[in-house]
Amino acid sequence: MRRRLLAAMLLVAVVAVAGFGLPLAVSVQARYHDEALLTLSEEAARAAVAVPGSFARDNDVPELPDPVDEVDVALYGTDGRRILGEGPGRADAAVLVALGAADDRQRRGDLVVAVPISQEEVVVGAVRTSLPASVVANRTHRTWAAMAALAIGVLVAAGLLAARWSRSLVRPLRELRADAAVIGAGGEVLARPDTGIEEIDAVHAALTQAAARLNAALERERSFSSDLAHQLRTPLASLRIRIETEQSAPDHDVVLLDDALRDVDRLERTIDDLLALARDTGRTREPRALSTLVREVTTGWEPRLRAAGRHLEVDLEAQLPWVDASPSAIRQILDVLIDNARLHASGEIRVSAARLGNGAVVAVADQGGTTIDPDEVFVRRHPDATGEGIGLALARRLAEAEGLRLVVADPGPGVTFHLVFGGRAPAPEGEAP
């Protein structure tokens, strides 16, 4: 943007200089030409006054006055012959006109003025003054050069001022962009002095207010998440103690209590993951093996699905890439997808992972007879949802927050979701993916 502002300011300066300078240059040329003709006329008149009208009759050669620099003065008789002074040997067109002769010759490039000399209303001679055209041209060119130098100086000064003003205009815009980035990262926008530009100051004030409202809302949500997690952990801890106490009884149901403890463990892990995501404290960008993350999730689901008479098939490629997404987010997304297949489908649930270019794709598929709408399934609390209607919406939001894509690859029957990872993260030294 700064370049565009600078170019616009310089364009205005160039147009202004050209609009003023070009007509002035033309007028300067005309003025020098007119001044030269006026000088020649004055010199010719002065010389004509100094020459008596009886010089031809008395054969008395007069003395011509000294002309100004670079002006030639000559005296011609009625026969067109030069009597004295500087000029052509024979009368040229201007002299012939002054003598009253026919003018059938082309004028020369020099500026020429001829004045007749008369006695008793009879032309007895003519005075000719001339100035080389190069003198006027050189004077005009020198003036044009000075004007061009002045124009260049004006443009340079305008360029410096334009650069300074463009920086002054762009700096607050860059600060606004930085403020927007801070808001996107969840930070607070610092107060800045007014720029003097009303629109920019108004935008900054609006951003500051928006950042304050967003930070207050985030703080309330984080506080609520912390309080909720604390409230849930207490009854979960009590439930765990009761289950473990029941396990000490000689006639306890081993399978039932083991499954109950696994559910408690899963619920506690879910609370920890969601709390870490809400606080953004458990987020990590260190590479993790995707195969390890997928197996952690599927290992926890296998006994639950087996108890419900369902089979979980896991098919992972041997060389899956490392990823830098949050492990908590990945676990929650896969938990939502597997749980969705458990609740709304039947038959085998298949979790597979394969490379996709430099990234990877994790697929969760079921064998149910349900068909879903890919555009509506991620809508929060959709009217057709049989549950709370927030699981898949939450999963997509978590995926987008981590730079992943959660899409419906096959709407069914036999729904398939794809969790798509981008470029491969570097694996830690000494470890294979």
The model's pLDDT over 267-322, given as tens digits with 9 standing for 90+, comes to 766 666 666 655 554 444 577 888 888 888 888 888 878 877 888 888 888 888 88
pLDDT in tens, 396-420: 887 887 788 888 888 878 888 888 8
Examine the pLDDT at 384 and tell me if it is beyond 60: no
Domains, in order of start, for the chain? 2-138 (3.30.450.20), 208-282 (1.10.287), 285-421 (3.30.565.10)
CB 285 within 8 A of CB 329: no
**C-alpha distance from residue 284 to each of 25, 105, 294, 359 (Å):** 70, 98, 17, 18
Residues 6+ apart with CB under 8 A from 232: 267, 271
Percent of the chain with pLDDT over 70: 67
3-class DSSP assignment, residue 348: coil
Mean of per-residue pLDDT scores for the chain = 75
Rank 47-56, 204-213, 269-278, 335-344 by mean pLDDT and report only the highest: 335-344
Examine the pLDDT at 432 and tell me if it is beyond 50: no
At residue 346, the pLDDT reads: 77
Burial class of 364 by CB neighbour count within 10 A (0 to 12, 13 to 18, 19+): buried
308 or 362, greater pLDDT = 362
At residue 185, the pLDDT reads: 60
Q: Is the dihedral of CA 188, 191, 194, 195 positive or negative?
A: negative
244 or 30, greater pLDDT = 30
At residue 424, the pLDDT reads: 52
At residue 273, the pLDDT reads: 62
**C-alpha distance from residue 379 to each of 51, 172, 278, 364, 384 (Å):** 111, 39, 21, 19, 10
pLDDT in tens, 256-265: 766 677 667 7
CB neighbours of residue 16 within 10 Å: 13
Residues 6+ apart with CB under 8 A from 366: 341, 344, 345, 346, 347, 348, 349, 350, 414, 415, 416
pLDDT in tens, 166-188: 776 767 667 666 766 666 665 66
For residue 1, name the pLDDT band (cuts at 50, 70, 90).
Answer: low
pLDDT in tens, 2-61: 677 677 777 887 888 888 788 888 888 888 888 888 888 888 888 888 888 777 666 777
DSSP H or E segment with residue 386 = none
Examine the pLDDT at 385 and tell me if it is beyond 70: no
CB 57 within 8 A of CB 42: no
330 or 246, greater pLDDT = 330
Rank 61-65, 213-217, 276-280, 386-390 by mean pLDDT and report only the highest: 61-65
Mean pLDDT, to the nearest integer, of 145-153? 87
Radius of gyration of the chain (CA): 49
CB 251 within 8 A of CB 382: no
387 or 275, greater pLDDT = 275
Round to whole Å and give the CA distance between 65 and 51: 9
For residue 134, name the pLDDT band (cuts at 50, 70, 90).
Answer: confident
At residue 122, the pLDDT reads: 79
For residue 98, name the pLDDT band (cuts at 50, 70, 90).
Answer: confident
CB 158 within 8 A of CB 10: yes
For residue 199, name the pLDDT band (cuts at 50, 70, 90).
Answer: low
Examine the pLDDT at 422 and tell me if it is beyond 60: yes
